[in-house]
Amino acid sequence: MSPKSGKEGGGTSQGGKAWGGRFSQATDPTVERFSASIHFDKILASHDIRGSKAQARMLGRTGLISDAEAQELVAGLDQIAAEIADGSFPFDPALEDIHMNIETRLRTHLGPVAGKLHTGRSRNDQVATDLALFLRDIGLSTQRGLLELRGVLLERAKENVDTVLPGYTHLQRAQPVRLAHHWLAHIEVLGRDADRFRDARARVTRCPLGAGAMAGSTLPLLREETAAELGFEAPTRNSMDTVASRDLALEYMAAAAISMVHLSRLAEELVIWSSSEFGFVELADAYSTGSSLMPQKKNPDVPEIVRGKSGRVIGNLVTLLTVLKGLPLTYNRDLQEDKEPLFDTVDTLRDCLEVMAGAVATLDVKRERMAAAASDPMLLATDLAEFLVRKGVPFRDAHEVVGSIVGHVTRNRLNLRSLTKADMQSFHEAFDSGADELLDLERSLESRTLMGGTARVRVEAAIAEIESELAAERTELEALQAAAEATGGASPVPAS
């Protein structure tokens, strides 16, 4: 027989007898299959056990159960944690979710005393606590993944300060840049992503445990003590909000969707750059695949899959937003639909960060091909306009003059460098040299000394600054990891 629960603290014992006697019929098997969540929410097992141990100790301190019973419950929960760790735990889909699976197993081990664990607790605040613990732990894990990818990009930047390629706008060659400067641009983006996860984690500071089904409890629960034991700053302030809200999950998923868009853009560049038309990079064999028909092919499957999975993570965010948008306070069973998109987002982002770090670390940069593309004198057309500006010509006039020069060489299939001093002065008398003297790639790069520019001095300074920032961030994450472990958290989160 199956549980009859609907989350709000209800359920049945094994055998189908309803706790509290409200129901006289067993759940229909189709409803049992429809409502079961154990196949995905078992990822919360360690978090559920942590919350339940804090609950047991707190109940012992209040006198609602004896100290001996509290110790017995904690020992039983430790035994279940060991069973889950070694793979011997008997997950039962008929018990609906991870919470009922653990509680039923505890009853098997301890007998009736297991029924005291749920004193003053609803599955509503239990689930909210598990989710908060999970989000706090996984936020750290995601920050570490972003840190590792940025570290890889930084190393590639340090290797490629002297590698020059065209920068692009509208996928058209625009101006020359250092490859290091290009890699650093992605580090900036991913750094803001890390900031978003850090910021989101700063809101997972209040403990839901003790909020009950939706109105708290008449029992003398010690919410401040369970909050402190679980590493939270304080209990949540409003019991109705506690069990009704999922914005903490939304915030993680929104940050993840933004990160996946950024990973997709980096992946797109690897796809384009590894094509024969560009030939700027070659992905390592370990991050490529062949064709089932064409033996000459080497396909950039890894970045292509990352690019595709961005849509999946965006869709997960839209799913949860849509689930939440029409729900009244407080708990509604629709909220069960928060976990699959959240867990899938966590897994997908983790995997994409890992494979992109590997792909970038091992790719071969084709410096000669990049240099050849960057040698196109048209990339320095803006420099000609700025030369005129320094001679006192208004920029709009200078822009029109250089546009005329570009049109002339394009129509006549000339090389811009071939224009003599006389040719240049036919367009504007302020030109005092031929194009070949005016157009110098290294001078162009080195003249961009403004903050954020691609001059060597700026790129090397940015590398040093980012290296220092990543080291500080690594130290911060190690400290947070140690603090989390002190309260039993931040253990590796397995794939769901």
Q: What DSSP line would sit under 381-431, residue for residue?
A: HHHHHHHHHHTT--HHHHHHHHHHHHHHHHHTT--GGG--HHHHHTT-TT-
The residue written with tokens 């996984």 in the block is: 138
Q: Known catalytic residue: 428?
A: no
Burial 475-496 (b: 16+ CB within 10 A, else e): eebeebbeebeebbbbeebeeb
* φ and ψ at residue 127, rounded to 5 degrees: -65, -45
CA angle 29, 30, 36 (to 5 degrees): 85
Lookup: tokens for 397: 């006039």
Helix (H, G, I), strand (E, B) or coil at 245: coil
Dihedral over Cα of 412, 414, 420, 426: its sign: positive
Q: Known catalytic residue: 418?
A: no
Can you tell me the distance from the alpha carbon of 198 to that of 195, in angstroms, rounded to the nearest whole number? 5
Nearest to 147 by CA among 461, 482, 473, 468: 473
Given 291, 404, 418, 433, which residue is catalytic?
A: 291
Lookup: tokens for 194: 């890390």
* φ and ψ at residue 12, rounded to 5 degrees: -130, 155
Can you tell me the distance from the alpha carbon of 463 to that of 158, in angstroms, rounded to the nearest whole number? 7
Given 88, 170, 276, 292, which residue is catalytic?
A: 170
How long is the chain? 496
Amino acid at 344: D
Known catalytic residues?
A: 170, 291
